[in-house]
Structure 1
Amino acid sequence: MTFDDNARIDSSRVSRSGGGGRGGKLAIGGGAGGLIIIVIALVLGVDPSSLTGGGTTEAPSSSQAGAITDCDTGAQANANVDCRVAATINSLDQVWESELQKQTGTAYVQPEVQLFSGAVNTGCGQASSEVGPFYCPADSTAYFDTSFFQVLVDQFGSSGGPLAQEYVVAHEVGHHIQNQLGDIGRAQNDPSGPESGSVRTELQADCYAGIWANYADDLPAPGSSEPLLDPLTDQDISDALSAASSVGDDRIQQASTGRVSPEGWTHGSSEQRQNWFLTGYRTGQVSACDTYGAPDLDNPAGLQGAR
């Protein structure tokens, strides 16, 4: 999904922190295979030690966050990944400010959004650049190391299209919606397995990302009557589904260990992740994203809904 070149974007919604010094510890495992698992596990907020059994390593601390610059137009968002995150956040704010109140009666509160490289201090502890994007409910902030988007392509075979990246941003804001609705903690009550609370929490965030995609190209740029996003194409949806598929538990396990073990799942299979994104996209309804009440995670009730 590309942005209208002439659209104005509000880059003040996104800050950037820098790295430097030495700080606290981050639990990680050793070796290249372990690092790959850690990146994917933490991209959507899962404790990597549960997958790797690894020890700890020192991570550098981050410096004070400051506003990003030179991100004022849709053209810049199309050309620069940092600006693309900012523009996507603008769009997510618009969609959820309208739909969350309308559909659930809960007023949307904007999450904080911070870009980082090297390391970052968060309300959930300290993270190094190895973790990729994640959401911290303790400080209601989505954190993005944008170098992860290239890892997604190079290591996991995802499409490099813009909606593949925007899907990741929308998923993290999906966790913020769960935080507002009081559901995000349900992942910790049942942390692994094909029917676990963790899987249901991650699939719901995928569904919420699909809701954003449903409405995003119908809204104007902030403070303007001009569109922020060009209309979605079949290729855009293919890009998002490619990203969702590339971070399925079955695909990651097969690539890293040579076998699939559903008892260790925390995010759901590639097919499930695609199906729940499509459910949100086709229905646009929060009620269709009730993964916790779904009797069959392989067949979302809203999958056959029309956009």
Structure 2
Amino acid sequence: MQFDDDADLDTSEVKDVRGSRIPGGRATVGGGIIGFIALILGLLFGVGPDQLGLSSGGDEPVATSSPAGQVGAACKKGRDANTREDCRIVAVVNSVQDFWRSEYARRGGRYTDASTVMFAQRVPTACGNVTSAVGPLYCPLDRQVYLDLGFFDELRTKFGSTGGPFARAYVVAHEYGHHVQNLLGTLGRAQDGRTGANSNAVRVELQADCYAGVWARHATTTPDGKTGRPLLTRLTDDDVRDGLDAAAAVGDDRIQERFQGRVTPENWTHGSAAQRQQWFYQGYSTGDMARCNTFR
């Protein structure tokens, strides 16, 4: 996975609040059994804790640290994305949104941007205060993606993913798939309270996987908004395998087997490892968002 060294990165699409003093209190989600429930139910490509029936509160400010620094100062060019993880996230966000802008324009519509918020430990959102334990999420109420970069280590160490830069890109692209669903009015289908292999919750997640694959298919040919050249210049078969591996690692069956020792399909909210791989590859192989109708 390689970005154009000379490309300009647009850091306005990413808000870096690592190291900031975050008001809003001490979150109750993230510790003990509550944090574990949030981890299992909301982890990976989920929604906010309020939508999981969990709450947070308190009024003490929280200080976080940012050893990586601020992306606004560090992430200027594609070469930065090729050497720094946080800059790579900026580049992926830029690439994903470049694609959806062009796709909407091709279809006669207009795409509405969504920011990614990089945080450490915890952050207030319109969907409630969230912690790193919830994992990456998209909040439809403020139309922002929230991401603690420490999660990617857990993806490898706790969930058995092989990792790699494109595994991270898959995670980001999946969350932006939820943003597209929100714009199209399909994201709300997941909020009917039902679970299970054939539930709307699962279908929404699988569609976001498919949308991530559609972006991946076009990533090396989508021009950026400034130079007209693709920001992402190389995506290999090994990169795609890393994405497929990450999709499998966060399948409901894999997570249930790892954390509770048995598989209970009636409680699925995201789909099995095989389903997640299938739908990501469906998007990648066809490059057509119309082929991502998981509700059919």
- Candidates 90, 93, 97, aligned match of 1:86: 90
Identity of aligned residues (%): 46
Provide TM-score, normalisation by structure 1: 0.85
Match of 2:264 in 1: 261
- CA-to-aligned-CA distance 1:42-63 (integer Å, 9 cap, x gap): 3312467999x98978697568
Task: Answer yes or no: is 1:177 the counterpart of 2:176.
Answer: no
- Shift in alpha-carbon separation, 1:140–1:61, aligned structure 2, 3 A: farther
Counterparts of 1:146-165 in structure 2 under 5 Å? 146-165=149-168
The CA distance in 2 between the partners of 1:22 and 1:179, in whole Å, is: 26
Would the aligned equivalents of 2:161 and 2:249 in 1 still touch at CA under 8 Å? yes
- Shift in alpha-carbon separation, 1:28–1:147, aligned structure 2, 3 A: closer
- CA-to-aligned-CA distance 1:10-67 (integer Å, 9 cap, x gap): 11211112355661544457359x638616723312467999x989786975689x87
Match of 2:42 in 1: 41
- CA-to-aligned-CA distance 1:267-287 (integer Å, 9 cap, x gap): 000010011001111111111
Give unmatched runs, 5+ long, in structure 1: 294-307
- Candidates 186, 191, 205, aligned match of 2:189: 186
Task: Answer yes or no: is 1:229 the counterpart of 2:255.
Answer: no
Match of 2:10 in 1: 10
Match of 1:300 in 2: none
The CA distance in 1 between the partners of 2:48 and 2:145, in whole Å, is: 16
Deviates more, 1:128-137 or 1:221-230: 221-230
1:291 aligned counterpart, secondary structure: coil
The CA distance in 1 between the partners of 2:71 and 2:209, in whole Å, is: 28
The CA distance in 2 between the partners of 1:110 and 1:174, in whole Å, is: 12
- Shift in alpha-carbon separation, 1:22–1:90, aligned structure 2, 3 A: closer
Match of 1:304 in 2: none
Task: Answer yes or no: is 1:244 the counterpart of 2:258.
Answer: no
The CA distance in 2 between the partners of 1:97 and 1:55, in whole Å, is: 35
* RMSD between aligned residues: 2.8
Give unmatched runs, 5+ long, in structure 2: 65-69
1:44 aligned counterpart, secondary structure: coil
- Shift in alpha-carbon separation, 1:171–1:192, aligned structure 2, 3 A: same
The CA distance in 2 between the partners of 1:21 and 1:224, in whole Å, is: 39
The CA distance in 2 between the partners of 1:289 and 1:213, in whole Å, is: 14
Would the aligned equivalents of 1:29 and 1:56 in 2 still touch at CA under 8 Å? no
The CA distance in 2 between the partners of 1:56 and 1:109, in whole Å, is: 29
1:123 aligned counterpart, secondary structure: coil
1:69 aligned counterpart, secondary structure: helix
Provide TM-score, normalisation by structure 2: 0.88
Report how many residues are paired: 289
Would the aligned equivalents of 1:211 and 1:280 in 2 still touch at CA under 8 Å? yes
- Shift in alpha-carbon separation, 1:63–1:107, aligned structure 2, 3 A: farther
Would the aligned equivalents of 1:8 and 1:222 in 2 still touch at CA under 8 Å? no
2:3 aligned counterpart, secondary structure: coil
Would the aligned equivalents of 1:19 and 1:120 in 2 still touch at CA under 8 Å? no
The CA distance in 2 between the partners of 1:50 and 1:224, in whole Å, is: 40
